[in-house]
């Protein structure tokens, strides 16, 4: 393997100042409730809110501020996400079986959480797609109450209209104008207006991620998200322009985005790198994308696609593209095991998954794809076990159970079985 371009710096750091800042914000929300949320909205978002909860009238008015083509695109994407989530749910089934031991029936039930909170980040541009990914999937899973929140946009004095429309189309039961670590605290511990949730999902900046880390245990979370990532496996058949623009599509997310190109053909690699520089001048997001590419871009030349697959599994990226000879692309895909979402083919940019293909775009980052999954229907569903035991079943299980209890020094456990036998 030959390193053609190395990253200049790490893309994510957790420092003591961040930890303390988030802890202070969360303590204030616990103590002051809504007043803290409104104060932080004024401080960070530069808006004075009448209240935290967004009224139905505000949501309805948002439709008049969004062009019809955008509304239709949101409806289309919601349909795609809903269809995929519904098909995923068919894989999750209750189980109830007769054990090999007579008198014992065992199984499990798939039970949705009662209440979840979906976080929708706000940055330089609105992110209605993130609203759809969390809310639609939660509703399909059967969550009884789905709350959604996003920070205020100063020019509107509330959540961006496109995001409000997406939240409404997705089916949010409650909408709150709040963001940052304070929103995570409100979800986790509740305020006068915000009911406590059981599970928090959705990406956010490093303050949101740190807040989710700190509330984990008091409430469930989907994952701890880092900067956006893409790894592209490409061979001699790859189109350098396609490779380059897909790198820039991730680079424009964040100056800290992680960008990796793994190629088997040096001429294609060099052409792709040249295209990155050329295309940078064509996109309005050049200021962000150029920093990300120059600081964090990594480029490797490998001997073959087998080595490329091994390297990709070591990186375990959020997004993994395979731009290789179509006659072997499925074979290569089968060798890949660690990724958040896989995009196979010369015409499969990550952008399709970000918005309209259907699978969720809230994905594991920072190599956590080695052991975790993106948001899906199962994120919102618990698997609760059960056992139905008759007198005969208790007798059939008694001896090995009592022996285990004695080995582990748990004598009341033993006697909970023994006394039943004696009765």
Q: Is 318 considered catalytic here?
A: yes
Catalytic position from the list 210, 252, 275, 319: 319
Give me 389's structure tokens. Answer: 């035991």
Residues 296-303, mean pLDDT to the nearest whole number:
98
Q: Do 159 and 152 touch, CB atoms closer than 8 A?
A: yes
- Say if residue 354 carries a ligand binding annotation: yes
241 by Cβ neighbours in 10 Å (0-12 / 13-18 / 19+) ranks as: middle
Of 265, 269, 345, residue with least CA distance to 305: 265
Per-residue pLDDT reduced to its tens digit, 326-360: 999 999 999 999 999 999 999 999 999 999 999 99
Per-residue pLDDT reduced to its tens digit, 22-50: 999 999 999 999 999 999 999 999 999 99
Give the list of residues 6+ apart from residue 385 with CB closer than 8 angstroms, or none.
Answer: 106, 107, 108
269-308 b/e (C-beta count within 10 Å ≥ 16 → b):
bebbbebbeebbeebebbebbbebbbbbbbbbbbeebeeb
- Say if residue 256 carries a ligand binding annotation: no
Of 169, 177, 130, residue with least CA distance to 153: 177
Per-residue pLDDT reduced to its tens digit, 361-372: 999 999 999 999
- Say if residue 64 carries a ligand binding annotation: no
- Say if residue 236 carries a ligand binding annotation: no
- Say if residue 182 carries a ligand binding annotation: yes
DSSP labels, 194-205:
SPP-SEEE----
Domains belonging to the chain, first-starting first, are 16-221 (3.40.50.1980), 227-370 (3.40.50.1980), 390-422 (no CATH)
257 by Cβ neighbours in 10 Å (0-12 / 13-18 / 19+) ranks as: buried
Q: Do 272 and 243 touch, CB atoms closer than 8 A?
A: yes
CB atoms within 10 A of CB 146: 27
Of 364, 304, 300, residue with least CA distance to 331: 304
Q: Do 360 and 376 touch, CB atoms closer than 8 A?
A: yes
Give the list of residues 6+ apart from residue 341 with CB closer than 8 angstroms, or none.
Answer: 318, 319, 320, 350, 353, 359, 360, 361, 363, 374
Catalytic position from the list 210, 229, 275, 318: 318
pLDDT interval class at 423 (50, 70, 90): confident
pLDDT at 384 > cutoff 90? yes
CA of 320: how far to CAs of 81, 231, 285, 343, in Å?
Answer: 20, 5, 22, 6
CB atoms within 10 A of CB 397: 17
Q: Do 1 and 301 touch, CB atoms closer than 8 A?
A: yes
Residues found in the chain: 423
Per-residue pLDDT reduced to its tens digit, 43-99: 999 999 999 999 999 999 999 999 999 999 999 999 999 999 999 999 999 999 999
Whole-model pTM? Answer: 0.94
Q: Is 319 considered catalytic here?
A: yes
% pLDDT > 70, the chain: 99
pLDDT interval class at 103 (50, 70, 90): very high
- Say if residue 205 carries a ligand binding annotation: yes
- Say if residue 228 carries a ligand binding annotation: yes
């Amino acid at each position: 393997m030959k390193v053609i371009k190395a990253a200049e710096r790490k893309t994510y750091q957790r420092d003591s100042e961040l930890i303390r800042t988030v802890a202070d914000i969360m303590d204030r929300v616990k103590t002051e409730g809504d007043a803290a949320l409104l104060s932080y909205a004024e401080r960070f978002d530069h808006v004075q809110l009448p209240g935290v909860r967004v009224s139905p009238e505000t949501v309805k008015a948002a439709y008049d501020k969004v062009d019809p083509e955008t509304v239709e695109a949101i409806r289309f994407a919601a349909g795609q996400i809903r269809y995929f989530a519904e098909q995923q749910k068919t894989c999750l089934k209750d189980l109830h079986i007769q054990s090999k031991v007579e008198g014992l029936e065992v199984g499990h039930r798939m039970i949705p959480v009662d209440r979840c909170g979906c976080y929708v980040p706000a940055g330089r541009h609105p992110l209605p797609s993130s609203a759809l990914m969390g809310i639609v999937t939660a509703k399909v899973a059967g969550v009884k109450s789905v709350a959604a929140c996003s920070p205020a946009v100063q020019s509107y004095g509330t959540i961006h209209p496109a995001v409000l429309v997406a939240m409404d189309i997705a089916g949010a039961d409650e909408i709150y104008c709040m963001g940052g670590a304070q929103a995570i605290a409100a979800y986790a511990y509740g305020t006068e207006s915000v009911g406590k949730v059981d599970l928090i999902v959705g990406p956010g900046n490093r303050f949101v991620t740190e807040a989710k880390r700190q509330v984990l245990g008091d409430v469930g979370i989907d994952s701890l998200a880092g900067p956006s990532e893409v790894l592209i496996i490409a061979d001699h058949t790859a189109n350098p322009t396609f490779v380059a623009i897909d790198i820039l599509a991730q680079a424009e997310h964040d100056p800290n985005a992680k960008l990796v190109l793994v190629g088997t053909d040096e001429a294609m690699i060099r052409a792709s790198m040249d295209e990155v520089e050329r295309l940078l001048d064509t996109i309005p997001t050049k200021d962000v994308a150029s920093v990300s590419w120059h600081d964090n871009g990594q480029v490797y030349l490998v001997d073959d696609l087998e080595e490329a697959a091994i390297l990709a599994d070591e990186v375990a990226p959020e997004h993994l593209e395979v731009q290789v000879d179509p006659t072997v692309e499925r074979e290569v895909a089968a060798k890949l095991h660690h990724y958040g979402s896989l995009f196979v083919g010369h015409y499969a940019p990550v952008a399709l998954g970000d918005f309209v293909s259907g699978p969720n775009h809230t994905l594991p980052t920072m190599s956590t794809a080695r052991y975790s999954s993106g948001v899906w229907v199962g994120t919102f569903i618990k698997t609760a076990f059960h056992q139905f035991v008759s007198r005969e079943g208790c007798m059939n299980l008694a001896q090995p159970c009592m022996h285990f209890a004695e080995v582990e020094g748990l004598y009341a456990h033993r006697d909970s079985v023994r006394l039943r036998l004696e009765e």
